[in-house]
Copies of this chain bind each other. A is one copy, B any other.
Amino acid sequence: MKITFNCGVIVKRAKKKAFSDFIAQKGLKSTRQRDIILDFFLSSAQHMSLEELYLKLRAKHPGIGYATVYRTLKLFAESGIAREIQFGDGQTRYEQVSEGEHHDHLVCTRCGAIAEFENETIEKLQDEVAAAYGFLIETHKLELYGLCAKCRK
């Protein structure tokens, strides 16, 4: 049994630290926009599309451009604090990545609700499959599509 204890504030701080380290190490600059976007991203719902993020951000910070949000999210992904995901609806979404943790998704095809889950046994089996094919796994993606409990009624 795995016990995870996440204090929101601490996790957020750790990610900010991780990103600023990344920025420094790459010789990039810390800017007002990046701070705003990072703060907003870390405080937002998971799995927002770039579009959604931009619009919500824009409501509070009118001066920010789409390209900046776009490039900044790419940076987040590159730095390892975020990940791009595609649910096949033609929109790239972003989710936060927590150190050493990986989760997969249940996507409701009716209401769009997204639940996250983790299953170590499945991960192990994936490794076995990969080994059988001589593959070296870097990442994986597992998504279950269907009706959520609410929409089944």
Contacts and interface: CB of A to CB of B under 8 A. Distances in A.
A84 B136 CA distance: 26
Given A86-B88, A125-B121, A115 B140 contact: no
Interface stretch (A23-31, A56-64, A143-151): A143-151
**Copies of this chain, whole number:** 2
A150 to B, nearest CB: 8
A103 B145 CA distance: 15
Given A145-B141, A147-B135, A125 B126 contact: no
Given A86-B86, A117-B133, A136-B146, 12 more contacts: A88-B141, A117-B132, A119-B129, A125-B125, A134-B149, A136-B147, A137-B145, A137-B146, A138-B146, A140-B142, A140-B145, A141-B141
22 contacts: A86-B88, A106-B133, A106-B135, A109-B138, A117-B133, A119-B125, A119-B129, A122-B125, A122-B126, A125-B125, A126-B144, A130-B146, A135-B147, A135-B148, A135-B149, A137-B145, A137-B146, A138-B146, A139-B145, A139-B146, A141-B143, A141-B145
